[in-house]
Amino acid sequence: MEKTLLYDTTLRDGMQGENIFFSPEDKVKIAKRLDDSGIHYIEGGWPGSNPGAQQFFELAKNIEFKTAKIAAFGATRRQGKPVDTDANIQALIDSEAPVITLFGKSWDLHVESIMGNTKKENLAMIKESIEYLLNHDREVLYDAEHFFDGYKANPAYAIKTLEAAIEGGTKCLVLCDTNGGCLPCEIETITRTTIDHFRSDLQIKKNPRLIFGIHTHNDCAMAVANSVTAVHAGATMVQGTVNGYGERCGNADLTAVIPILSLKMKKDCISQANLEKLQILSRFVSETANVQPVSSRPFVGKSAFAHKGGVHVSAIMKNPKAYEHIPPELVGNKRRVIVSEQSGKSNIEYKAKELGVDLGQKGANGHQIVASIKELENDGFEFDAAEGSLKLIMEKLTDQFVPHFELESFRVMVEKDKERPCYSHAMIKIRVGDKTEITSAEGDGPVSALDNALRKALTTIYPQINDMHLVDFKVRVIDGMDGTDAKVRVLIESRDENNIFSTIGVSEDIIEASWQALADSFQYKLSLDNKNKAKIK
C-alpha cells in the first residue's frame, strides 16, 4: 500500500489565523510534539518574511527529529530578477532546512492582473527557482497556489505551471484550494484529471516517482471533505494544521483528516500508537496558542463522544456502536455521559458507575437523583458542565458524602481608593472534624481572597491542595430580565497534576455562587486524593 504523507503547516499557515501566535520557543515545543505524533513534514515558517521564523530554524538545527522533516516555506524568485540574487531564495537556503516548500502562481488572474507579470515569465520563475534549490541539495515540494481556481479559469495554463515545476525537478506537486471556495465534486474531478494527465504512459516514464498533494482552506466548511476527496482521487500527501487554525476560516484540520485517512479510508499514514496521541496533541497546541479548545471538534473535542439523551445512553450501555462511529480510545478521547434535565435513569446509572458512586441495589436511587437533578437545573444549575459538583450532589443524595470541611461563616471586604486599584480581604471560619479554623487573606478580587483564605485554612491539614490550581472562572447571568437582582451561574475549572475538573454555584449573589463552586472544587479534589489512596492500598 502506498503511504499517505502528513504535512503540518500549523507553525506557518496556522499562525496566519486571527489571534494565533507562537514564539520561536513555542514552535520548537509544538514541532517536537508533531514529530512524536508521527507527522512526516513540519513546515516551520517563511524565513525570508520575519525574524521569528528565522530564529525557529536556528533552534531546529540542534534538534534531532525522529520521524519528521523540517520544511522552510517561500515563494519563487521575483519576476525579472536572476534567481541567484533573490534574497528570499537565499533565506530559504540559509535556513538549512532539509526540505523547501516553494509556492508559485497557477491562476492567470494572479499572474497578469495581480502581479503584472507575463505567463511565460511566471513559468520561468517556477522552473528556475526549483532547479536552483535542488542544486543546493534540498528536497523541494511545489505548492501550486490557487490551482483549482486557476484550472477552472484556464486549465491548459494551470497544467503548464505544473509542467514547469516538473521540468525544474520537483517530485511533489501540491494542488492548493487557496481561497477555500471549491466543492468536493470539483476537487474530485480536477484532481483525478490532473493526476491522470501526468500518469499517462509517457509521463510515468519521465517521472516515475512523482506524487501529488492537497492543500485546502475552509471558507466553505469543506477543507476536511476536500482533502479526503483528493486522497480518494489519488493524492498521497495531505497538508493541514492542528485544530484547523489558519487564515480567514482556517485550513484542513489534521485532527479530523488523520483519523479519517487511517480509520475510515484504511490509508497507511500513522501508527495506532500515534493516533491515540491525537487528542493530547490537539489540546497541547490549543494551550500553547492560548485558545480555548472547541468542545464540538470531531474526534478530539470534549463533546465528540458525549451522550445526553436517555435513549442514547441506554443504547450505548448495551453496545457503544449504537451511537458512536468509532471507539473514542482510538484517538485518545473518552466516552462521556452527560447528566442534565433531559437525562433519564440510564444516564444516572452510567455516570454513577463512571464517578464511583454506589446507587444501591439495582440502582434504586437513580429515579430520585434524576428528579433532584432536574429540580436543580430548573433553578439554574448546569451539571453537564460541572461533573465535579455532580459527583458531590450524587454522593449527598445517596448519603455517601463525607465533607472534608464545613463552612461556619465568611466575610469579604472590598476596598477602593483613588491611589490604588480595588483589593479584597476575606476572613473565613471553617470546621474540620472537631477543629475550628479561622483565617484571613487578601486577593486581587473577592473570589481570589476567598480562595487564598480557604487554602490557608486547609493547607496544614491537607497539604495536597497546593497541587490544585484554578484555571478558568466564568460567570453567566441566568435571566437578564431581573437586572442586577438576577441569578448568576459561576463555573470554576481546576486542575492538578493528573486531572481537570469543573464545579458550579448558583445564587442571586455572585460571591455566594462563587463560594459554592470554589468549595466544591476543594471537596472534589480531596475526594479524588482519598480515592487514589484507596486504590494504592
pLDDT of residue 233: 97
Specify the range with the lowest mean pLDDT, choosing from 108-122, 171-185, 430-444: 430-444
- The H or E element that residue 168 is part of is helix 155-168
* Residue 372 and residue 424 in one domain: no
DSSP annotation string for 300-351: TSTTTTEE-SHHHHHHHHH-GGGT-SS-GGGGT---EE--STT--HHHHHHH
* Whole-number percent of the chain with pLDDT over 90: 69
User: What average pLDDT does the segment 248-263 reach?
Assistant: 98
Q: Residue 415 falls within a domain, yes or no?
A: yes
Residue with cell 459538583: 389
Q: Given 397, 422, 444, which residue is the final one in a domain?
A: 397
* Residue 328 and residue 417 in one domain: no
Q: Given 397, 431, 454, which residue is the final one in a domain?
A: 397
Q: Residue 297 falls within a domain, yes or no?
A: no
Give the pTM: 0.78
Q: Residue 212 falls within a domain, yes or no?
A: yes
State how far the Cα of 221 lies from the Cα of 227, in Å rounded to an integer.
12
* Residue 350 and residue 247 in one domain: no
State how far the Cα of 161 lies from the Cα of 163, in Å rounded to an integer.
5
* Residue 325 and residue 388 in one domain: yes
DSSP annotation string for 266-302: --BSS-HHHHTTHHHHHHHHHHHHT----TT-TTTST
* Residue 174 and residue 197 in one domain: yes
* Residue 123 and residue 244 in one domain: yes
For the chain, the average pLDDT equals 91
* Residue 178 and residue 262 in one domain: yes
Specify the range with the lowest mean pLDDT, choosing from 119-128, 197-206, 491-500, 528-537: 528-537
Please give the tally of structural domains in the chain. Answer: 3
Q: How confident is the model at residue 460 (pLDDT cuts 50, 70, 90)?
A: confident
Q: Residue 34 falls within a domain, yes or no?
A: yes
Higher model confidence: residue 214 or residue 202? 214
* Residue 388 and residue 417 in one domain: no
- The residue type at 438: I
* Residue 115 and residue 263 in one domain: yes
Q: Tell me: the pLDDT tens digits for 102-161?
A: 999 999 999 999 999 999 999 999 999 999 999 999 999 999 999 999 999 999 999 999
* Residue 379 and residue 456 in one domain: no
State how far the Cα of 164 lies from the Cα of 130, in Å rounded to an integer.
9
* Residue 390 and residue 413 in one domain: no
- Are residues 216 and 251 in contact, defined by beta-carbon separation less than 8 angstroms? yes
* Residue 29 and residue 157 in one domain: yes
Q: What is the CATH number of the domain that holds 438?
A: 3.30.160.270
pLDDT of residue 160: 97
Specify the range with the lowest mean pLDDT, choosing from 54-68, 134-148, 240-254, 477-491: 477-491
Q: Look at residue 324 and tell me whether its pLDDT is greater than 70.
A: yes
Residue 238's domain spans which residues?
5-270
Q: What is the CATH number of the domain that holds 255?
A: 3.20.20.70
Q: Tell me: the pLDDT tens digits for 13-40?
A: 999 999 999 999 999 999 999 999 999 9
